[in-house]
Structure 1
Amino acid sequence: MSSRTSKSRFTRPTSLALAVGLAAAGACAQYPGQIIKKDKATPELRAIAVLEWTGDEGKPKTSRIVPITVYDGQALQDGGVYLARPQPLALTSEVEYELEKNGARFGLYDIRTAGQEQGSWVGYGLWKPLPSAKPAAPKPVVDDGFDANDDKPVLHRKHEGNSGSSDSGASGPSPDPDRPTLHKKSGTDDSGKSTSSSGPAADPDRPTMHKKTSDDSSPSGSTSSSNSDHPVLHKGTESSADTNDGERTGAADPDRPHLMRGKPTGNGPDVLPSLMGLPADMQQAVAVSDERNHPEHQWNYAWANPDDELKMKEDMEDIARKSLDLTPPLAPKTKRVAAKAHAKPAPPPEPPPLMDEKFRVFELAYGSGATMVLSAHTDGPAKQQKFVTLIAQPDLYGNALVLLKNVTDGEHLDETPRMKLIDAVDALADNRGELLFELRGATQRQFALYRVLRGTAEKIFITGGGEYGIAPGE
C-alpha cells in the first residue's frame, strides 16, 4: 500500500471496521446517543475488485469497478452483497482502491457512486495517479558577510534607519554614484494634493494610467479626468437591465440566460462516463482496498535459464492443441524410389495457430516455483470456436504438469464458461497470491479465485455461487 494517509484505503470518512460495528449496532436497536467504540478484536477488512475500462490507461473514456470479495479476517465474503445498504460496503462513496498490474501499483480509483447493471452492483468514479513524493525543502541561504576583496556583485538588504545618504549618520558604506537608483514617483500625497517632485518631468506623449477616485461614479461626472471618448466598463446591478427599447427597468429579464462561475450544483458527483456491456476493447486490472499498508509484492517469475521458459511454453501449447483437436495432419506417405533414396525427408507441417494466445508465469509465494497459465482459442465463427485454459507447473523431469484444464466451445458457454485470467492478487492478506479468473458465458459471468498449493489448483471463492462456473472435473 502507498504511504498516503489523507484518504483511507477502504472507506472515507468511515472505516470498514467501524462501518461493520455501526451496522451491527443498528440491528440491535441501540438507544439514541450511544457511542459505539471500535473493538480491538474487529478485523481489518480487505476488498478485491476488478476495474474495467476503455481507452488509454490513466485517461480512460469509460470505466466501472466490479466488487469481487471482501476478506473479513476469517472468510472471503461476496463483495457484491456484503453489508449492502442498499449498495454493498465495497462500493461506498469515496472508497479508494489501488490498481495493480502483476503486483505493481499503477494508479488509484475513487468510488463516487454505484448502480446496478444486469442485476449486479458496480461502482463508478475517478481514476487518479499515484501520489508522488514531495521534493525536499531547499536549505536556507546563510549570509556569511561581505568580502571586500570579492569581485562578485552582492545584493544587500537595506536596514532601517539607513537611507544610504552621507548625512544620515549610517555606519554602512556610501552608495556608488554610478549605480542606478529607483525613486518613488511623487505627484500627489494621500489627501490628493499636489506635491513637488524631484524627478524629471513627465513625457506629454506618454500614456498615463490614473486611479479612479470615489467622485467618478459615472462616466458623465464633471469631476472625472478620463477622456470622454474612451470606453468605460461599469459593474452591473441586479436592479437594472437593458430592455429592447433602450430604457432601464427595475427587474431583470427572467428568460435571459446567465453564465455563472464555478461548478454546477445538483448534478451529482463528477465521474467518468459509465462503461456498459462487454466491448471488445475493454481492459481489466485488479483493484485492492485495505485499511493497512502492505508492502508491494510483484508476482512475476524469473527463470534461471530462458530456454526453460521456451520449452515450458511449447509443452503447454502442444497440450492446448490436443485439447482443442488441433493436431497437425500427418505427412502423406510416398513410395520410396531407389534414385531418391538419398533425398532429405519433407519438413513436418506447421502446427495450427492458437488464436489470442496468452502465456504468463507467476511466483505466487516467495521462493516458490513457477506457476504457468496459458489460454487460447481456435479460429472461426464465434459459435464454432473452442476455448482452453491451462494451469500448470514444471514437474521433476522438466515437463509441464497440468493442474487444471478448462475446455469449452461457443455453443456451451453458459454451461461451461471460458476462464479468462485477470491477474494474481493477495486476497487473504497472507503474502501469497491467488489467481483471479473471469468465468465468462454467453449471457452471464462470474469471477473466481484459485489457490495453487502443493501441486493442486483449488477454487477457494466464486462470486454469486451456484452451479454456473464449475469447470469439468472440479
Structure 2
Amino acid sequence: MSSRTPISRFTRPTSLAVALGLTAASAFAQYPGQIIKRDKDTPELRAIAVLEWTGDEGKPKTSRIVPITVYDGQALQDGGVYLARPQPLALTGEVEYELEKNGAPFGLYDIRTAGQEQGSWVGYGLWKPLPSAKPATPKPIVDDGFDPNDDKPVLHRKHQEGSSSSDSRASGPSPDPDRPTLHKPSSTNDSGSSTSSSGPAADPDRPALHKKTSDDSSGRTSSSSSDHPVLHKSSEESADTSDGERTGSADPDRPRLMRGKPSSQGPDVLPSLMGLPANMHQAVAVSDARNHPEHQWNYKWANPDDEVKMKEDMEDIARKALGLTPPPPPKPKRTAAKSHSKPAPPLEPPPLVDEKFRVFELAYGAGATMVLSAHTEGPAKQQKFVTLIAQPDLYGNALVLLKNITDGEHLDETPRMHLIDAVDALADNRGELLFELRGATQRQFALYRVLRGTAEKIFVTGGGEYGIAPGE
C-alpha cells in the first residue's frame, strides 16, 4: 500500500469542503462584522462523478462531467441536487476532480461552468495533467581548501565587528583598478552652468539620457525644452477612416472591431459534449480534500489458468442467458458395419459482441470479483444485453451474484448495465462498482457493494423505480 497526498490538497482549485464553507459564508454576508468559523464537526465531503469525453485521452475534443454522489460523512447524497444554488455543490466553479482508472490517478479536471442537459446538471471545464515534482537543484560544491582527513590544526583569523577600517584595509586585498566607481553627477541649471563645484567631472564615456524630439504630422519639431506631453496620432487611427473624414481626436475608450481571435475570451473551457455519441469515453472522477491512500483495484491471480477458466465459465453463463447455446452435434447413424470415421467436432460457440471482462480486488485481501458484459448481433431493437457479477466459489466455479438481462425493445423498463469502474465512494478504503444504467431515452448511475457473497445496490441517481434490475 502506497500513500500519497491528494492533488486537491495543494493545488489552486477549491475542494468541496472549502466550497461548502464559502456557500455558508455567503448566506451570512448581510450581517457586517460577523465572522464565520468552521465547526469542528463539519464533515469532509467526498464527491464522485463521471467524466465523459470524445477524442484522445488528455487532449479531448469535447468533454463534460456528470455528478454522481456526495458523501457527507453519514450517507450518500445525490450529487446532481446536493446544495444546488442553483448549480449543485459538486459543480461549483474551481472545484477540482482527480481522474482515476482502476484506482490510479491519470489526470485532473477543473470545473469552470455548469449547465443543464435534458433536465440534469453537468459541468464543463479543463482537463489538466498531473503535476510532476521538480527535482531539487544540487548545491554547488565550493573548494575552500579544507581537507576533512587532515588532522593538522589550522588557525583562522576571526573578523571582529569593532575592527578599524585601517586594519581591514591592511588585511584585505588591494583595490581593483578596473572596478567601477559611483560618482554623484553635477546638476545643471536652466542656463547650462553647473550648480555644484565640488563634484567630480562628468565621465565622457558614460552614457547619458537625452530628451527625444518629437515630430508632428506636419514635420515640425517640438522644442526640446518643453516638458509637456505631446499626443501623436497612431498609424491605425489615421488609416481607420470609414468615409474619409474625421472630426476631432480618436476616443481611446471607443470599442473597435478587429479581425482575428480576440485576446480575452473568458475561461478556457473545452467544447461541450452533447448526447451519447458512440465514440464517447468514460472515467471515474473523485474530489476529496483528505489524504487517502492510493488503492488499485485490479486482482492478481496466483495461477493465470484460473482466470482463463473463470472467463470461460462466465461466457457460458452469458450465452445461456442470451439464448446463444449452440445445438448439440448430430448423432452418427448406426450401420451394420463398424464405422471408422471420426466423430463430428463440436460446433463453435456463438460470438459475444462487445465483450468486456474485468476482475477486481475490492478490499485488501479480498477474493476476485468478476464482471462480464456483452450483447448479441443484429439490429439495435433486436439485440440482447447481459451483465454478470460473479465470484469464485469453493469448488473453483463462477458463482453469479447479479444477472442483468434486457433487450433493445425494453431498455426503458430494464436498462442495460454498463460498467464504468470501481471507486471508493464511502472513503472506507473499500471499492464499489459504478455502473451506468442506460435506457432508450434516459439513464442513471448506480453503485453496487459486493460483500459476503451478495451484490447490493447502495445508491442510484435520481431515485425512482427506473434502474431496478430483475430480482432486486
Q: Quickly name the TM-score band, shorter chain normalised.
A: 0.7 to 0.9
Does the Cα contact within 8 Å between 2:332 and 2:343 map onto a contact in 1? no
Equivalent of 1:331, from 321, 329, 332?
Answer: 329
Q: 3-state SS of the aligned residue for 1:334? A: coil
Which residue is 1:460 aligned to? 458
Which residue is 1:133 aligned to? 133
Q: Which amino acid aligns with 2:127?
A: W
User: How far 1:241 moved relative to its partner?
Assistant: 1.8
CA distance change for structure 1 residues 252 and 288 in 2, over 3 Å: closer, same or farther?
same
Does the Cα contact within 8 Å between 1:241 and 1:251 map onto a contact in 2? no
State whether structure 2 residue 205 is matched by structure 1 residue 189.
yes
Distance 1:465 1:129 in 2: 35
Which residue is 2:185 aligned to? none
User: How far 1:36 moved relative to its partner?
Assistant: 1.9
User: How far 1:143 moved relative to its partner?
Assistant: 4.2
Distance 1:349 1:83 in 2: 58
Which residue is 1:348 aligned to? 346
State whether structure 2 residue 158 is matched by structure 1 residue 161.
no
Does the Cα contact within 8 Å between 1:92 and 1:111 map onto a contact in 2? yes
CA distance change for structure 1 residues 245 and 427 in 2, over 3 Å: closer, same or farther?
closer
User: How far 1:134 moved relative to its partner?
Assistant: 1.2
Does the Cα contact within 8 Å between 1:10 and 1:46 map onto a contact in 2? no
Which residue is 1:230 aligned to? none
Which residue is 1:66 aligned to? 66
Q: 3-state SS of the aligned residue for 1:37? A: coil
Distance 2:126 2:83 in 1: 23
Q: 3-state SS of the aligned residue for 1:388? A: strand
Which residue is 1:395 aligned to? 393
Q: 3-state SS of the aligned residue for 1:435? A: strand
User: How far 1:268 moved relative to its partner?
Assistant: 4.0
Which residue is 1:228 aligned to? none
Equivalent of 2:18, from 15, 20, 39?
Answer: 15
Distance 1:388 1:30 in 2: 56
Distance 2:83 2:91 in 1: 10
Does the Cα contact within 8 Å between 2:48 and 2:287 map onto a contact in 1? yes
Equivalent of 1:5, from 7, 10, 35?
Answer: 10
Does the Cα contact within 8 Å between 1:238 and 1:251 map onto a contact in 2? no
Does the Cα contact within 8 Å between 1:62 and 1:275 map onto a contact in 2? yes
Q: 3-state SS of the aligned residue for 1:281? A: coil
CA distance change for structure 1 residues 189 and 214 in 2, over 3 Å: closer, same or farther?
farther
User: How far 1:33 moved relative to its partner?
Assistant: 3.4
User: How far 1:218 moved relative to its partner?
Assistant: 6.9
Does the Cα contact within 8 Å between 1:9 and 1:97 map onto a contact in 2? no
Q: Which amino acid aligns with 1:189?
A: D
- Residues matched between the structures, number: 406
Deviation string for 1:233-257 (max 9, x for gaps)? x985499624589998643497964
Does the Cα contact within 8 Å between 1:238 and 1:252 map onto a contact in 2? no
CA distance change for structure 1 residues 240 and 9 in 2, over 3 Å: closer, same or farther?
closer
CA distance change for structure 1 residues 368 and 221 in 2, over 3 Å: closer, same or farther?
same
Distance 2:381 2:44 in 1: 46
1:246-395 matches, cutoff 5 A: 250-252=248-250, 257-258=257-258, 263-264=263-264, 267-337=265-335, 341-395=339-393
Deviation string for 1:385-410 (max 9, x for gaps)? 00000000000000000000000000
Q: 3-state SS of the aligned residue for 1:357? A: strand
Distance 1:160 1:128 in 2: 58
Does the Cα contact within 8 Å between 1:10 and 1:90 map onto a contact in 2? no
User: How far 1:417 moved relative to its partner?
Assistant: 0.2
Which residue is 1:98 aligned to? 98
Does the Cα contact within 8 Å between 2:445 and 2:460 map onto a contact in 1? yes
CA distance change for structure 1 residues 436 and 261 in 2, over 3 Å: closer, same or farther?
closer
Normalising by structure 1, we get a TM-score of 0.78
User: How far 1:215 moved relative to its partner?
Assistant: 3.6
User: How far 1:334 moved relative to its partner?
Assistant: 3.0
Q: Which amino acid aligns with 1:142?
A: V
Does the Cα contact within 8 Å between 2:369 and 2:391 map onto a contact in 1? yes
Does the Cα contact within 8 Å between 2:13 and 2:110 map onto a contact in 1? no
Which residue is 1:124 aligned to? 124
State whether structure 2 residue 434 is matched by structure 1 residue 436.
yes
User: How far 1:341 moved relative to its partner?
Assistant: 2.3
Which residue is 1:175 aligned to? none
Q: Which amino acid aligns with 1:18?
A: G
Deviation string for 1:1-37 (max 9, x for gaps)? 53551335624xx7044246448x66xx984432221
Deviation string for 1:307-360 (max 9, x for gaps)? 000000000000000000000122123313455622221110000000000000
Which residue is 2:163 aligned to? none
Distance 1:260 1:353 in 2: 54
Distance 2:414 2:267 in 1: 40
Does the Cα contact within 8 Å between 2:446 and 2:457 map onto a contact in 1? yes
Does the Cα contact within 8 Å between 1:240 and 1:249 map onto a contact in 2? no
Q: Which runs of 5+ in 2 are unaligned?
A: 146-172, 180-202, 223-230
Does the Cα contact within 8 Å between 1:59 and 1:127 map onto a contact in 2? yes
> What percent identity do the matched residue pairs reach?
77
CA distance change for structure 1 residues 46 and 160 in 2, over 3 Å: closer, same or farther?
farther
Does the Cα contact within 8 Å between 2:20 and 2:89 map onto a contact in 1? no
Which residue is 1:142 aligned to? 142
Which residue is 1:202 aligned to? none
Bigger CA drift: 332-341 or 117-126?
332-341
Which residue is 1:241 aligned to? 238
Q: 3-state SS of the aligned residue for 1:241? A: helix
Does the Cα contact within 8 Å between 2:6 and 2:289 map onto a contact in 1? no
Q: 3-state SS of the aligned residue for 1:313? A: helix
CA distance change for structure 1 residues 312 and 40 in 2, over 3 Å: closer, same or farther?
same
Does the Cα contact within 8 Å between 2:216 and 2:232 map onto a contact in 1? no
Q: Which runs of 5+ in 1 are unaligned?
A: 146-158, 166-186, 193-210, 224-233
Which residue is 1:198 aligned to? none
Which residue is 2:194 aligned to? none
Distance 2:345 2:235 in 1: 90
CA distance change for structure 1 residues 411 and 222 in 2, over 3 Å: closer, same or farther?
closer
RMSD: 3.2
